[in-house]
């Protein structure tokens, strides 16, 4: 942050000598009075960055007071108000004509003498700072409604580069004021409910940097919504070429943690904007040699990235959109503003701290979570259960599979938008330890369902290392818990039903008495116990897998009867009573109490949810039912929910979760009790077992084989019972954990740290502990809660459907094919997420923008601020050029429009065609072509 420029002596004297209460007309960046209402969003950000010591080219801001004084000019004010009041916003021609009148009026009106004098004086003092008479300056509009987190107004007002001399400067300032009244700016303010006369405009006057390379840097990745990546677009010459999207720049993706490049993509960089002799700029072609050369070195990328990290830190780690320039190997900060239109959630902050960031080639899949962590998952639950699962898998991979030390740092799980993804590299390592017959069998536990379809054959047919497998079994048998006999013994001893996991050992009153530190210690101890449990249970699951798969293997090898599903019939359900079956029996009996009592049944039907339980207290018959129900709740308070996360209500919290269960049971056939179905299932299983055993006995050495088979089947049956014991007990542990976190949330709300009842669920355990201890940046905390809660709700309500895979950072669904030889399917660069189908409107130049109709998909070469009004009516956009930080891409994200960049899009997409734009995958598909286009093609 070196290179800070101090103000020259007397630089503020003119402003400070004004009458008391009168606002200054000019403020230097270093002036502490540079508040947004005076200097606008751009001026405010430059002032903050300059005052923080960043290398910002020296400059001043002509304040909103100057604009106000200009508007009060007798020859201007009345006429301007009259014209503005006559604007018809539903008439594009009228809007353009009226705003043009206002601009012309402002530009023809003389700047008030006192304002002109102070601007000229500031320009002279800027010359003193840089030691150059009549220096070149950039003159940039800075609106008071600009660069806000909720509405950026980016690019709506004018910028003038390479302005030299006081007269040219004064004209540029006047032109910036006039740009407040372009059709696009007026329409944008109207659309965002900003009052035209309440909104002000300041003008930044800043020494020009003669950039060799310039561009835009996002301190977070807007496409992946990741806050641990930095995205840089860069091109030769001045940054205007990148910002306006007239070139396809080089793109660099940096890992924020160490500033190493994860990806470098060379852009075409066909042209550049550079300074013109005598003032102004010119647009010229770039030589082929420079087009083929990346415009930034690794050292320059690190310098840029470090500046980005520091700027973001200055803004409470809120992602920033930074304009920069590189001159003589020195990086200058030209602008910083919040990134808008992107749902950042800082999910990287809730990943396991000791694990490395996932690499670019990592493939993540969704199905595992649907089986292991069903339903929507909160960040809090992920940083407890998810972290412990990850550590348990590390034990399994390292200790039992015998992989190297380098594999211990691999992340096995990833949190993304309310759900959890699983690393397919972990699954491939797991599959390689499976006996070959089990790898692709539909009846075996495991297999290839968690990997990409195109990898199935290679994994299934991979050589099996029997020696390595034997070593793994030996390691398992060396651990009393992991051994085959040990697992069977632990099943019998009800190892899962740990006394310390009983929820009645904890209650709200006891937890309230604990100090903050004691509460944290209890939670930490609880989580450590769960972590140990995950380490212990991992090999148990490994043995469960092999036990079931061995049953399938023996049936396939020794049984040749006519029951094709014999293996799965024998391992369906459990051969004995389980906690869940006993719970279901009790629920059925309670439902029969309701069914057999006309009074209770009528009360039940007439009162929904908790109301029924309240009404039941008013009668003796109701009280008798509630007494039986309460005994049931006392025994199973931690159950009654379908999904795993602690977020979901248990029956110990509300009986409403059982009302819906009773409603379903009352609609069932009263003769179809769980006990009856269990007897029937056991009878079918016994018949299948008898059939298989008798069939095996008839084979050579059949008696021996039959006995072996029965031992293996009995061993697998113990595991099936144990599996339910484990799930039941683990749910009990989850409920106790929830009670403790509820107390943390209550304390934070009571102290005013958090406000919403469910806010605490959307912070990780470490983030909650920091708040409990009085720390934390609340600006960042609130942003995290908002982003994460939005993602969680969207996933839970199925407003956002999680893709089956995330491949190298991009969403992938193997069911959606893409044929590179099909001209109706085009693959490009995703710029803004979302999917839309609509009519393509090919617009080759801005003058033809009037052809765009409501709900069209705009197809054009690139956009600049002049195209902004059309974004209010289109549903998507396809451009030919411009990076992911270009005007079109940024505005699409702000408006929530899917956007894709397709080279030669205007040539490849017929005007009027129905197309689908997939901003998630970067694909554009031509659905149908207008009949006249088909005739032309024919």
Rounded alpha-carbon distances, angstroms, from residue 724 to 529, 570, 645, 710: 20, 16, 18, 22
Q: Which two tokens stand for residue 708?
A: 């072996």
Rounded to an integer, what distance in angstroms lies between the CA atom of residue 594 and that of residue 600? 5
Q: Does residue 430 contact residue 402 with C-beta atoms inside 8 Å? A: no
- H/E stretch holding 727: helix 702-750
Residues in contact with 693: Cβ distance below 8 Å, sequence separation at least 6, in sequence order: 706, 709, 710
Decide if pLDDT at 938 tops 60.
no
Range 892-921 average pLDDT: 88
Range 727-733 average pLDDT: 81
Q: Does residue 425 contact residue 439 with C-beta atoms inside 8 Å? A: no
Least confident stretch, 89-103, 278-292, 862-876: 862-876
DSSP 3-state helix, strand, coil percentages of the chain (rounded to 5)? 50, 15, 35
- Measuring CA to CA, which residue among 351, 363, 345, 228 is closest to residue 810? 363
- Measuring CA to CA, which residue among 188, 227, 248, 415 is closest to residue 338? 227
- Measuring CA to CA, which residue among 661, 629, 644, 630 is closest to residue 738? 644
Q: What is the pLDDT of residue 16?
A: 38
Quickly count: other Cβ atoms within 10 Å of residue 246's Cβ.
21
Dihedral Cα 874, 876, 878, 883, nearest 10 deg:
110
DSSP state of 19: P
Q: What is the pLDDT of residue 374?
A: 80
Q: For residue range 311-349, what is the model confidence (pLDDT) as tens digits? A: 999 999 999 999 999 998 899 999 999 998 888 999 999
pLDDT band at 445 (very low <50, low <70, confident <90, very high): low
Beta strands in 220-315 (DSSP E): 229-236, 250-255, 261-265, 271-275, 281-285
Q: What is the mean pLDDT of the chain?
A: 84
Q: Which two tokens stand for residue 785?
A: 């809660």
Collapsed DSSP state (helix, strand, coil) of residue 766: helix
- Tokens 């700047």 correspond to what residue? 111
Q: Does residue 72 contact residue 65 with C-beta atoms inside 8 Å? A: no
Least confident stretch, 62-76, 275-289, 355-369, 731-745: 275-289
Residues in contact with 2: Cβ distance below 8 Å, sequence separation at least 6, in sequence order: 53, 55
- 644 backbone φψ class: left, alpha, beta (φ>0; ψ -120 to 50): alpha
DSSP state of 338: E
Neighbour order of strands in the sheet with 413-416: 413-416, 419-423, 363-365, 805-807, 810-812
Q: Where is pLDDT greater, at 551 or 501?
A: 551
Rounded to an integer, what distance in angstroms lies between the CA atom of residue 649 and that of residue 738? 10
DSSP state of 35: -
Rounded to an integer, what distance in angstroms lies between the CA atom of residue 741 and that of residue 181? 54
pLDDT band at 200 (very low <50, low <70, confident <90, very high): confident
In sequence order, what DSSP letters do the residues of 187-243 get, joined into one string?
HHHHHTT--TTT--EEEEEEEPP--SEEEEEESSBTTTTBSSEEEEEEEEB-THHHH
Burial 132-167 (b: 16+ CB within 10 A, else e): eeebbbbbbbbbbbbbbeebbbbbbbbbbbbbbebe
Least confident stretch, 472-486, 571-585, 757-771, 910-924: 472-486
pLDDT band at 128 (very low <50, low <70, confident <90, very high): very high
Rounded to an integer, what distance in angstroms lies between the CA atom of residue 897 and that of residue 363? 27
Least confident stretch, 178-187, 468-477, 892-901: 468-477
* β partners of residue 201: 143
Least confident stretch, 610-614, 726-730, 758-762, 878-882: 726-730
Q: Where is pLDDT greater, at 355 or 258?
A: 258
On the 0-12 / 13-18 / 19+ scale of CB atoms within 10 A, 372 is: middle
Q: What is the pLDDT of residue 457?
A: 85
pLDDT band at 13 (very low <50, low <70, confident <90, very high): very low
Q: What is the pLDDT of residue 20?
A: 42
Range 891-897 average pLDDT: 77
Q: For residue range 83-115, what is the model confidence (pLDDT) as tens digits? A: 888 888 778 788 888 889 888 999 999 999 999
Rounded to an integer, what distance in angstroms lies between the CA atom of residue 858 and that of residue 867? 10
Q: Does residue 214 contact residue 244 with C-beta atoms inside 8 Å? A: no
Burial 706-744 (b: 16+ CB within 10 A, else e): beebeebbebbbbbbbbbbbbebbbbbbbbbbbbbbbbb
3-state DSSP of 841-899: EECCCHHHHHHCCCCCEEEECCCCHHHHHHHHCCCEEEECCCCCCCHHHHHHHHHCCCE
pLDDT band at 69 (very low <50, low <70, confident <90, very high): very high
- H/E stretch holding 925: strand 923-928
Rounded to an integer, what distance in angstroms lies between the CA atom of residue 61 and that of residue 55? 17
DSSP state of 419: E
Q: What is the pLDDT of residue 15?
A: 37
Rounded to an integer, what distance in angstroms lies between the CA atom of residue 334 and that of residue 339? 16
Range 602-626 average pLDDT: 94
Rounded to an integer, what distance in angstroms lies between the CA atom of residue 736 and that of residue 18? 66
Q: Does residue 448 contact residue 465 with C-beta atoms inside 8 Å? A: no
* β partners of residue 291: none
Q: What is the pLDDT of residue 404?
A: 54
Collapsed DSSP state (helix, strand, coil) of residue 182: coil
Q: Which two tokens stand for residue 372?
A: 């292991």
- 576 backbone φψ class: left, alpha, beta (φ>0; ψ -120 to 50): beta
Range 141-151 average pLDDT: 62
Let me know the angle formed at the C-alpha of 909 by 906 and 911, rounded to the nearest 5 degrees: 85
Q: What is the pLDDT of residue 816?
A: 67
> Rg (Cα) of the chain, in Å, rounded?
34
* β partners of residue 859: 842, 878
Q: Which two tokens stand for residue 95?
A: 């809007």
pLDDT band at 6 (very low <50, low <70, confident <90, very high): very low
Q: What is the pLDDT of residue 12?
A: 32
Q: What is the pLDDT of residue 701?
A: 92
Decide if pLDDT at 153 tops 50.
no
- 463 backbone φψ class: left, alpha, beta (φ>0; ψ -120 to 50): beta
Rounded to an integer, what distance in angstroms lies between the CA atom of residue 731 and that of residue 738? 10
- Measuring CA to CA, which residue among 300, 274, 5 is closest to residue 131? 5
pTM, full prediction: 0.83
Residues in contact with 62: Cβ distance below 8 Å, sequence separation at least 6, in sequence order: 25, 26, 115, 119, 122, 173, 202, 203, 204, 205
Quickly count: other Cβ atoms within 10 Å of residue 446's Cβ.
21
Decide if pLDDT at 146 tops 90.
no
Q: How many CA atoms lie within 13 A of 765 on its CB side?
A: 24
Rounded to an integer, what distance in angstroms lies between the CA atom of residue 370 and that of residue 725? 20
Decide if pLDDT at 518 tops 70.
yes
pLDDT band at 480 (very low <50, low <70, confident <90, very high): low
Beta strands in 788-834 (DSSP E): 805-807, 810-812, 825-827, 829-832
Least confident stretch, 475-484, 670-679, 899-908, 909-918: 475-484
Q: For residue range 775-830, what is the model confidence (pLDDT) as tens digits? A: 999 999 999 999 999 999 999 888 888 889 999 888 888 876 555 567 888 988 88
Decide if pLDDT at 359 tops 60.
yes
Q: Where is pLDDT greater, at 749 or 846?
A: 749
Phi and psi angles of residue 837, each rounded to the nearest 5 degrees, phi first: -120, 135
Rounded to an integer, what distance in angstroms lies between the CA atom of residue 144 and that of residue 41? 6
């Amino acid at each position: 942050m070196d290179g800070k420029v101090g103000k020259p002596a007397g630089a503020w004297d003119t402003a400070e000598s004004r009458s008391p209460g009168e606002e200054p007309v000019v403020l230097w960046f270093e002036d502490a009075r540079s508040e947004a209402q005076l200097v606008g969003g751009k001026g405010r950000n430059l002032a903050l960055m300059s005052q923080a010591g960043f290398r910002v080219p020296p400059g001043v801001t002509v304040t909103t007071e100057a604009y106000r004084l200009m508007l009060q000019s007798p020859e201007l004010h009345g006429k301007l108000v009259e014209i503005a009041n006559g604007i018809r916003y539903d008439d594009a021609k009228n809007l353009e004509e009226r705003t043009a009148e206002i601009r012309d009026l402002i530009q023809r009106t003389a700047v008030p003498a006192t304002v002109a004098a102070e601007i000229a004086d500031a320009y002279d003092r800027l010359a003193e700072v840089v030691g150059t008479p009549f220096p070149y300056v950039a003159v940039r509009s800075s609106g008071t409604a600009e660069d806000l987190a909720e509405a950026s107004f980016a690019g709506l007002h004018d910028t003038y580069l390479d302005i030299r001399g006081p007269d040219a400067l004064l004209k540029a300032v006047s032109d910036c004021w006039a740009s407040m009244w372009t059709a696009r700016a007026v329409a944008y303010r109207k659309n965002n409910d900003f009052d035209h006369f309440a909104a002000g405009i300041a003008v930044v006057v800043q020494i020009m940097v003669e950039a060799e390379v310039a561009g835009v840097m996002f301190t977070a990745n807007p496409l992946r919504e990741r806050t641990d990546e930095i995205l840089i677009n860069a091109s030769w010459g001045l940054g205007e070429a990148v910002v306006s999207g007239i070139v396809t720049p080089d793109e660099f993706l940096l890992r924020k943690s160490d500033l190493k490049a994860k990806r470098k993509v060379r852009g075409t960089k066909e042209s550049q904007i550079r300074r013109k002799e005598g003032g102004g700029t010119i647009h010229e072609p770039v030589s082929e040699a420079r087009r083929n050369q990346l415009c930034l070195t690794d050292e320059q990328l690190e310098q840029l990235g470090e500046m980005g990290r520091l700027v973001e830190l200055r803004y409470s780690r809120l992602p920033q959109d930074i304009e920069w320039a590189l001159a003589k190997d020195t990086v200058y900060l030209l602008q910083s503003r919040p990134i808008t239109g992107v749902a950042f959630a800082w999910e990287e902050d809730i990943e396991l701290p000791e694990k490395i960031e996932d690499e670019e080639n990592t493939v993540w899949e969704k199905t595992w979570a649907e089986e292991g962590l069903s339903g929507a998952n909160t960040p809090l639950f992920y940083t407890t259960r998810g972290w412990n699962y990850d550590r348990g898998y590390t034990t399994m991979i390292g200790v039992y599979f015998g992989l190297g030390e380098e594999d211990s740092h691999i992340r096995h799980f990833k949190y993304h938008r309310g759900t959890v993804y699983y690393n397919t590299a972990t699954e491939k390592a797991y599959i390689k330890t499976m006996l070959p017959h089990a790898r692709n069998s539909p009846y075996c536990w495991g297999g290839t369902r968690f990997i990409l379809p195109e990898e199935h054959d290679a994994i299934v047919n991979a050589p099996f290392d029997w020696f390595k497998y034997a070593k793994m079994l030996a390691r398992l048998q060396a651990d009393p818990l992991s051994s085959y006999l040990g697992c069977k013994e632990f099943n019998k001893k009800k190892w899962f039903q740990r006394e310390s996991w009983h929820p009645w050992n904890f209650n709200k009153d006891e937890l309230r008495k604990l100090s903050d530190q004691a509460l944290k210690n209890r939670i930490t101890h609880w989580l450590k116990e769960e972590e140990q449990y995950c380490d212990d249970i991992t090999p148990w699951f490994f043995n469960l897998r092999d036990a079931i798969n061995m049953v399938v293997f023996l049936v396939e090898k020794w049984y040749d009867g006519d029951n094709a599903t014999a293996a799965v019939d024998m391992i369906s359900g459990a051969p004995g009573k389980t906690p869940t079956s006993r719970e279901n029996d009790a629920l059925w009996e309670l439902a029969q109490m309701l069914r057999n009592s006309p009074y209770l049944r009528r009360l039940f039907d007439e009162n929904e949810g908790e109301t029924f339980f309240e009404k039941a207290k008013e009668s003796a018959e109701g009280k008798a039912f509630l007494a039986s129900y309460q005994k049931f709740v006392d025994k199973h308070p931690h159950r009654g929910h379908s999904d795993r996360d602690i977020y979901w209500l248990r029956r110990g919290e509300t009986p409403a979760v059982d009302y819906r269960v009773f409603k379903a049971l009352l609609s069932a056939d009263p003769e179809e009790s769980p006990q009856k179905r269990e007897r029937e299932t056991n009878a079918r299983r016994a018949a299948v077992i008898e059939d298989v055993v008798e069939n095996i006995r008839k084979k050579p050495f059949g008696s021996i084989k039959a006995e072996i088979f029965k031992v293996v089947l009995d061993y697998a049956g113990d595991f099936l019972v144990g599996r339910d014991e484990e799930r039941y007990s683990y749910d009990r542990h989850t409920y106790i954990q929830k009670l403790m976190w509820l107390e943390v949330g209550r304390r934070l709300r009571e102290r005013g740290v958090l406000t919403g009842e469910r806010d605490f669920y959307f912070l990780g355990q470490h983030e909650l502990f920091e708040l409990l201890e009085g720390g934390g940046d609340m600006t960042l905390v609130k942003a995290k809660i908002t982003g994460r809660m939005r993602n969680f709700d969207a996933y839970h309500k199925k407003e956002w459907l999680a893709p089956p895979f995330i491949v190298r950072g991009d969403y992938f669904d193997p069911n959606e094919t893409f044929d590179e030889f099909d001209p109706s399917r085009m693959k490009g660069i995703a710029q803004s997420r979302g999917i839309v189908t609509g009519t393509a409107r090919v617009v080759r130049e801005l003058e033809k923008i009037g052809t765009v109709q409501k709900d069209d998909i705009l197809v054009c070469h690139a956009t600049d601020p002049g195209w902004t009004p059309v974004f209010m009516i289109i549903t998507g956009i396809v451009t030919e050029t411009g990076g992911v930080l270009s005007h079109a891409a940024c505005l699409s994200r702000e408006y929530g429009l899917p956007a894709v960049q397709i080279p030669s899009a205007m040539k490849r997409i017929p005007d009027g065609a129905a197309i689908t734009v997939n901003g998630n995958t970067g694909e554009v598909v031509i659905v149908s072509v207008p009949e006249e286009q088909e005739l032309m093609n024919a």
